[in-house]
Amino acid sequence: MKTISDWLASPWRRSTAAALAGALPVLAFPEPSLWWFAYVALVPWIALLRSAQTGKRALYDGWWGGFGFMLAMHHWLLPNLHVFTFVIAALLGALWAPWGWLVRRFLAGRPSAGRVAAALVVLPSGWLLIELIRSWQGLGGPWGVLGSSQWEVEPALRLASVGGVWLISFLVVAVNVAAAVLVAVRKAWVPAVAGLVATAVVTSAAWVWSPRPDIDDRVRVAVVQPGVIQGAGKAERRFDREEQLTRELAGQDVDLVVWGESSVGYDLDDRPDFARRLAALSRETGANILVNVDARRSDKPGIYKSSILVGPDGPTGARYDKMRLVPFGEYIPARSLLGWATSVGEAAAEDRRRGTEQVVMDAGQGLRIGPMVCFESAFSDMSRNLADHGAEVLIAQSATSTFQQSWAPEQHASLAALRAAETGRPMVHATLTGVSAVYGPSGQRIGSWLDTSVSTSSVYEVPLADGTTPYVRFGEWPVYAALLIMAAWWVGEGLRTLRLRRPVPEPPARPARTAHGSPARPGR
């Protein structure tokens, strides 16, 4: 009778199993939102890695698992990028190859209690460094960071205020390592249980001692979501729908109106009629309107995506140009080499231009807002920077209309909960076609989501908060700690290797003895 080990003896079967195991964590993210599954989702992958016969095989299993993870997290790109989605997943998946080797190094065979204890610290640190590297916007950005699967878990949100999404990722991986040890290496249960207890203690400490945001005021923010507009002239018809929905806010005492990404398809200097209509809407509603223009600039070359604040007299002059663009969607990295992506999918035909700095805007009556555009809400450093510079409300203007039938809109909307919890500032996630959402300064949801089937305007009572979270104050300290842990481990490994390679001096030769046991005399 064949065992699982016999079945996995085939390299291709083993690679397939690794890819499937690596894809499992996607179930913890929206839309499935099985948040609890994140704490055991890595166990099958870890079990496979520790069973690798050689370090080289563990490298392959790590790569294939990373490929499965990346493909699952970005599966919604398949209708647009087609085969190029597999290329991206394979390239990014290679980041997990060293992690696969690390898992085997610490957990193969019958690891000692010391090795298991070290694994509970080193393996999460290694994972964190992979998330840090792939969070670079040129590699796709921090979409699907493991800790972000806990966006609706209150204790996890409290951890985010202390160490950002990075601290959550570290602890989730540590729990997975401990669970894998309990399942596969039962004799090492003591350090595994100790790791679980330590995780519980850290979470409890954050719950008890981390500062809570102090609510000192409230503002009324309206989100305008026009819904899907198809066919010719959709830019003007979308504007008409947004105008109609905004007029319905008159008399509702709103402090700010937010439109989604690409809500205006023309530069306002080129279309003064649009600027006049927006100013009229501001007068009708009694609030400034934050729109997003996706158009070729009249004052400089190129296409920009810009958040523009419009008041009763027209554009106020407050403008933010998107800085971090979506690879292939808004620009093609190394276009001279990868420009062929436009022939196999819906990649950007022309690169958008980047802004140079973040902006905190005065939205009227002393309300300071920090705008971000779409993909930028995934970057925790951007929201942290805005909060540090005085933003009272964080705003993400987004558009995911291309991916309406996928899990992307829900997953994107969930990211704002993490950004709010990290900074202690409420966050508004406004989209053209859903999902739109609003979160309070602790990351808790305010009201209900506006899903992808809704075309409406909705007003939210948004609490404002004072104070500075530890994450805003100290930044990405879990990442620095992970770097120190990995550096210390590498130094220890280097010293150990040197000791093993150092030649052992031979003991001095003993003098020969006679048959009676006495030392032989020279010359006899």
- CA–CA separation, 84 and 258 (whole Å): 34
User: Are the C-beta atoms of 463 and 438 separated by less than 8 Å?
Assistant: no
Q: Can you tell me the distance from the alpha carbon of 444 to that of 282, in angstroms, rounded to the nearest whole number? A: 29
Residue 483 CB burial class (10 angstroms; 0-12, 13-18, ≥19): middle
Q: Are strands 427-431 and 256-258 parallel, antiparallel or unpaired?
A: unpaired
* Total Cβ atoms within 10 A of residue 505: 6
- Asked if residues 222 and 249 have their Cβ atoms less than 8 Å apart, the reply is yes
With left for phi above 0 and alpha for psi between -120 and 50, is residue 317 left, alpha or beta? Answer: left
The per-residue pLDDT for 524 is 43
Give me 191's structure tokens.
Answer: 């350090």
In a structure prediction context, what are the per-residue pLDDT tens digits for the chain, which is 524 residues long? 566 776 777 889 999 999 999 999 999 999 899 999 999 999 999 999 999 999 999 999 999 999 999 999 999 888 877 888 898 899 999 999 999 999 999 999 999 999 999 999 999 999 999 999 999 887 888 999 999 999 999 999 999 999 999 999 999 999 999 999 999 887 888 999 999 999 999 989 888 888 888 898 999 999 999 998 887 788 899 999 999 999 999 999 999 999 999 999 999 999 999 999 999 999 999 999 999 999 999 888 999 999 999 999 999 999 999 999 988 878 887 776 777 667 666 677 788 899 999 999 999 989 999 999 998 999 999 999 999 999 999 999 999 888 888 899 999 999 999 999 999 999 999 999 989 999 999 999 999 999 998 999 999 999 999 999 999 999 999 999 999 999 999 998 888 888 877 765 666 666 655 555 555 555 54
Could you tell me the two tokens for 27?
A: 């179930």
CA distance 459 to 223: 6
d(CA 333, CA 72): 22
Burial of 189 (0-12, 13-18, 19+ CB in 10 A): middle
Closest CA to 96 of 32, 21, 164: 21
Identify the CA nearest to 480 among candidates 94, 163, 148. 163
CB atoms within 10 A of CB 122: 22
Kind of pairing, strands 288-296 and 303-311? antiparallel
**Peptide bond preceding 393 in cis form (omega within 30 of 0):** no
Alpha-carbon distance values, 19 to 44, 62, 90, 93 (Å) = 11, 9, 11, 10
Is the preceding omega at residue 31 within 30 degrees of 0, hence cis?
A: yes
Q: Output DSSP code: residue 210.
A: S
C-alpha 521/C-alpha 232 separation (Å) is 112
The most distant pair of C-alpha atoms in the chain lies apart, rounded to whole Å, by 122
Residues whose CB is less than 8 angstroms from the CB of residue 343 and which lie 6 or more positions away in sequence, other chains included: none
Residue 167 has a pLDDT of 97
pTM greater than 0.95 (yes/no): no
The radius of gyration of the chain's CA atoms, rounded to the nearest angstrom, is 28
Model confidence pLDDT, tens digit, residues 276-334:
999 999 999 999 999 999 999 988 899 999 999 999 999 999 999 999 998 887 888 77
Closest CA to 234 of 433, 468, 42: 433
Which helix (DSSP H) or strand (DSSP E) does residue 509 occupy?
A: none
